[in-house]
Amino acid sequence: MSDWNKRTKAVHHGIRRSQYGEVSEAIFMTQGFVYDSAEAAEARFIKAGEDEFIYARYGNPTVAMFEDRIAALEGTEDGFATASGMAAVHGALAAMLRAGDHVVSARALFGSCLYILQEVLPRFGVDVTFVDGTDLAAWQAAIRPDTKLVFFESISNPTLEVVDIKAVAALAHAQGAMVMVDNVFSTPVFSDAVALGADVVIYSATKHIDGQGRALGGIILGKRDFIRGTVEPFMKHTGGSMSPFTAWLMLKGLETMDLRVRAQAASAQQIAQALVADGKLRVIYPGLADHPQHALTMAQMGAGGTVMAIDAGSKEAAFALLNQLEIFTISNNLGDAKSIVTHPATTTHQRLDAETKIALGITPGLIRCSIGLEDPADLLADLRAAIG
């Protein structure tokens, strides 16, 4: 199995078949498990075997299949599946951090990630320093000998800044700090985060992994000692684990993810280039040659990803554009089979003050465009009509 390519692993890795020999993975819809004896129950609570389960909040065969499969794709030893992407972010951070710990984080983050790092962690005595994620000198100045962790999105939401994972990881590891990467925009298809130095990788499985707008989910990936020794005890006692049915949906999503994501990225590249040629508004896309981190993007991912951004110039112009679209759906998800547009300043990053939004590049006219599986010519025509 280790010799298989990602696409093959995404279909086959980690399958646990019951005595019935089913082709599609089984959904083990149970909250508990039966023991042969009181002694067996005691032994399992002391230490469960590799394929033994106690309670669905601790683990489940269907969930374990998803954890094993996505860990194989990402190149980590293990993973813990969570109820949502934000449960993964909060769980990974809260499980390892204590009062007095120091974290260095990129400042450009998804709104809920910012909330955890700005509001939640400081309540419990965690010191957080924010830096420009694209500025290696800023990282070097901020990371201290007592820094416990660095945290960043490999591609920031929604302004699409790309962080040099290898360089930041080297700076962090030189000071003994762990590297935690929210890798949603890079996707498991294009990700090479672990090989580049990431210790912990987080995904919102709601996005490209499910990819069809059906369910919330998340995954924390890393070394087995960290996942089972640090993350699992915290998550099983605080209740953020994934349900068996959600895990089954995610397994089905993984089977088609490679094909979907590559098609979406190709469409995003085509649409972004056409809009730049039109010259009617600013286009931000890491796959474009004029993106500040284009060379880095190609080195880290080999593609620009499935998300682009356009700037209509003002909130009024952005709203007018959004309201004219026929194919694109106004929502706040991304990585979906359906193309989705979002106005971050009034939705996902609404709670930030105007000064912070501008500092992060979230202008009043900025529109995040998640490119789906529709015909790219139709999507481009829809955008051009709305822009016009």
Looking up residue 285, the CATH number of its domain turns out to be 3.90.1150.10
φ and ψ at residue 74, rounded to 5 degrees: -80, -20
Q: Which of 384, 378, 387, 388 is nearest to 267 (CA)?
A: 378
Indicate whether 272 and 332 sit together in one domain: yes
Mean pLDDT of 368-382: 98
Separation between Cα atoms, residue 116 and residue 166, nearest integer Å: 25
In terms of pLDDT, which residue wins out, 49 or 101? Answer: 101
The answer to whether residues 244 and 368 belong to one domain is: no
**CATH number of the domain to which 137 belongs:** 3.40.640.10
218-222 vs 147-153, strand pairing mode: unpaired
pLDDT in tens, 176-224: 999 999 999 999 999 999 999 999 999 999 999 999 999 999 999 999 9
pLDDT on residue 1: 66
First-to-last C-alpha distance (Å) of the chain: 51
Cα 266 to chain centroid, rounded: 20
Q: Does position 2 have pLDDT exceeding 80, yes or no?
A: no
Q: Which domain holds residue 327?
A: 258-387
Instruction: Work out how many domains the chain is built from and give that number.
Output: 2
Same domain, 234 and 265: no
Tell me the mean pLDDT in the region 305-323.
Answer: 98
Whether the per-residue pLDDT at 126 is higher than 70: the answer is yes
Q: Does some domain include residue 1?
A: no
pLDDT at 63 exceeding the cut of 70: yes
Q: What is the spatial order of strands in the sheet that 147-153 belongs to? A: 78-82, 218-222, 200-204, 178-182, 147-153, 102-106, 127-131
Choose among 324, 304, 307, 331: nearest CA to 384: 324
Whether 158 and 362 have beta carbons less than 8 Å apart is answered as yes
Specify the length of the chain in residues. Answer: 388
Residue 197 has a pLDDT of: 98
Clarify whether residues 348 and 292 are in a common domain.
yes
134 and 276, same domain (yes or no): no
Instruction: Say yes or no to pLDDT of 49 above 90.
Output: no
Query: Quick check: is 382 in a domain?
Result: yes
Whether 291 and 190 map to the same domain: the answer is no
Name the residue among 110, 95, 332, 67 with its Cα closest to residue 221: 67
- Do 138 and 238 fall within a single domain? yes
Strands 200-204 and 366-370: unpaired
* 282 and 158 share one domain: no
Whether 365 and 317 have beta carbons less than 8 Å apart is answered as: yes
Structural domain includes residue 287:
yes
Instruction: State the average pLDDT for the chain.
Output: 96
